[in-house]
């Protein structure tokens, strides 16, 4: 049997500890599958004395993660520290410059520097494997980079953040507000003490940027993703979605349009009959639309030590087998400069909730401002009895539009607000049919 692939692990949190447990407890089976032994030889983390539930005594300890990357006994580096800059970036760059392949779960790093790091890896004959960086235990990276290479992909969309999906699921099921469900998510360990990265959509945006590069052969462009989070979604929005035959999900969507590749993250009305609508709790799901295969849906755990470690170990076994795939499925020089489709030109249906003051002519004003911009309304609903009013006595008015553009809707809503008939900011949520 060939020599062992010797691994250095940087970052010994939940995922790092789980990864080492798998690599040690399943060492014999992994060696059979990989055709060679896989052995952890060195580790690095912030604190050496912390109890992680694993025995680290047989591994060399490096306080400096860059020193781990340069350790002559290490063939391959697993980076699980996180962060787009600092030690994680230094470690990955050092490993690649030394010609050592890297396995990482760091979507922030790749969303910010993926194209540059991919070029460096190719120059030094190394590989960056990152199955764990998007959708946790769901093998969507391998699907896009390898399994679907005979297809033309037109759209990738999905639920890519378990924290947001848990919060929205519980808000809907129990009629609770966002703050209460966020607190529950934090108590259960699903959300961080500072949940901004998750609930405001940035985590989903980083993952979507990676999937976009794989799907459409473009350089990674995290700044091109339009981002909205879920903190403004209310129980009323969720109950209205149910009444209208929808559920609200935070979706990441990348699709090719006539104007370029559109990348967007935002709360979305999805039909209750769709597969995505049935994905509840912390579960993730990704839909891939391609030709000739059609629609593929992948569903599974999107986070957690076990699910993420599973993806990391899968990448390590691939490297042990000698599988070498370009980071984003194509030579870095062949990745196209992304043409950003402007969000203002996005077309689709819209849910618009207005808190309308009880004034003569208010409804006519709203309808006129919409009509002036060529927006056709599928339905108008006024929620009165049983619906909480504001202190001013304003009541919610719900507008459902036929297909129109983001620019028209935003312009119309701004014009309505200028008329002085609203109490509070409007709510606008896109509809996917």
Could you report the per-residue pLDDT of 16-49, keeping only the tens digit for each?
999 999 999 999 999 999 999 999 999 999 888 7
207 catalytic residue (yes or no):
yes
Q: Which helix (H) or strand (E) holds 319?
A: helix 305-321
The pLDDT of residue 77 is above 70? yes
CATH (domain of 144): 3.30.360.10
Q: Based on the fold, state whether residues 97 and 38 are members of the same structural domain.
A: yes
Which of 119-133, 142-156, 269-283, 328-342 is least confident? Answer: 328-342
Last residue of a domain, one of 84, 116, 133: 133
Q: Based on the fold, state whether residues 260 and 352 are members of the same structural domain.
A: no
Q: Based on the fold, state whether residues 148 and 237 are members of the same structural domain.
A: yes
Residues of the domain holding 407? 343-431
H helix intervals, 144-282: 162-174, 178-187, 196-199, 202-216, 235-243
Q: Which helix (H) or strand (E) holds 113?
A: helix 107-123
The pLDDT of residue 247 is above 70? yes
Average pLDDT over residues 207-235: 95
- Give me the pLDDT at residue 55, please: 86
Q: Based on the fold, state whether residues 164 and 211 are members of the same structural domain.
A: yes
Percentage of the chain modeled with pLDDT above 90: 80
Is residue 308 one of the residues assigned to a domain? no
CATH (domain of 370): 3.30.70.260
The string of pLDDT tens digits covering residues 95-120 is 999 999 999 999 999 999 999 999 99
Q: Which helix (H) or strand (E) holds 78?
A: strand 76-79
Q: Based on the fold, state whether residues 183 and 284 are members of the same structural domain.
A: yes
**DSSP codes joined into one string, 29-50:** HHHHHHTS-EEEEEEE-S-SS-
Q: Based on the fold, state whether residues 115 and 175 are members of the same structural domain.
A: no
The predicted model scores a pTM of 0.93
Q: Based on the fold, state whether residues 287 and 361 are members of the same structural domain.
A: no
Task: Catalytic residue, from 100, 107, 142, 207: name it.
Answer: 207
Verify cis geometry, omega within 30 degrees of 0, for the bond prior to 292: yes
Q: Based on the fold, state whether residues 181 and 98 are members of the same structural domain.
A: no
Is residue 281 one of the residues assigned to a domain? yes
Rounded to whole angstroms, the Cα distance separating 32 from 30 reads 5
Last residue of a domain, one of 300, 330, 352: 300
The model's confidence at residue 382, banded by pLDDT at 50, 70 and 90, is confident
- Give me the pLDDT at residue 384, please: 59
Q: How many structural domains are present in the chain?
A: 3
Is residue 373 one of the residues assigned to a domain? yes
Last residue of a domain, one of 133, 161, 195: 133
């Amino acid at each position: 049997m060939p020599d062992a692939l010797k691994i250095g692990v940087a970052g010994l949190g939940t995922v790092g500890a789980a990864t080492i447990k798998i690599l040690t407890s399943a060492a014999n089976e992994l060696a059979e599958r990989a055709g060679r032994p896989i052995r952890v030889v060195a580790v690095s983390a912030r604190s050496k004395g912390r109890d992680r539930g694993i025995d680290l005594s047989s591994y060399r300890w490096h306080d400096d993660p860059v020193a781990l990357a340069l350790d002559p006994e290490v063939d391959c580096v697993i980076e699980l520290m996180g962060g787009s800059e600092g030690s994680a970036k230094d470690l990955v760059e050092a490993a690649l410059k030394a010609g050592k392949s890297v396995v990482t779960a760091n979507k922030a790093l790749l969303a910010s520097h993926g194209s540059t790091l991919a070029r460096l890896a190719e120059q030094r004959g190394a590989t960056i494997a990152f199955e764990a960086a998007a959708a946790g235990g769901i093998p969507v990276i391998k699907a896009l980079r390898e399994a679907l290479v005979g297809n033309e992909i037109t759209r990738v969309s999905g639920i890519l953040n378990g924290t947001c999906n848990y919060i929205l699921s519980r808000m809907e099921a129990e009629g609770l507000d966002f703050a209460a469900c966020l607190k529950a998510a934090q108590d259960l360990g699903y959300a961080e003490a500072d949940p901004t990265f998750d609930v405001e959509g940035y985590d989903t945006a980083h993952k979507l940027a990676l999937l976009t590069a794989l799907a459409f052969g473009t350089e990674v462009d995290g700044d091109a993703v339009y981002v909205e989070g879920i903190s403004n979604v209310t129980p009323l929005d969720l109950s209205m979605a149910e009444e209208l035959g929808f559920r609200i999900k935070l979706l990441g969507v990348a699709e090719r349009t006539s104007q370029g590749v559109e990348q967007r993250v935002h709360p979305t009305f999805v039909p209750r009959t769709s597969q995505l609508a049935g994905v509840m709790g912390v579960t993730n799901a990704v839909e891939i639309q391609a030709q000739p295969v059609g629609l593929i849906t992948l569903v599974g755990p999107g986070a957690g030590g076990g699910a993420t470690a599973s993806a990391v170990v899968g990448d390590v076994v691939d490297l042990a087998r000698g599988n070498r795939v370009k980071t984003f499925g194509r030579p870095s020089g062949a990745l196209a400069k992304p043409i950003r489709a402007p969000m203002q030109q996005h077309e689709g249906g819209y849910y618009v909730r207005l808190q309308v003051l009880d004034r003569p002519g208010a409804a006519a004003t709203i309808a006129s401002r919409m009509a002036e911009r060529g927006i056709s309304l599928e339905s108008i609903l006024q929620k009165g009895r049983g619906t909480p009013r504001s202190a001013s006595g304003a009541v919610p008015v719900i507008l459902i539009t036929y297909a129109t553009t983001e620019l028209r809707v935003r312009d119309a809503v701004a014009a309505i607000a200028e008329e002085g008939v609203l109490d509070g900011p409007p709510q606008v949520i896109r509809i996917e049919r």
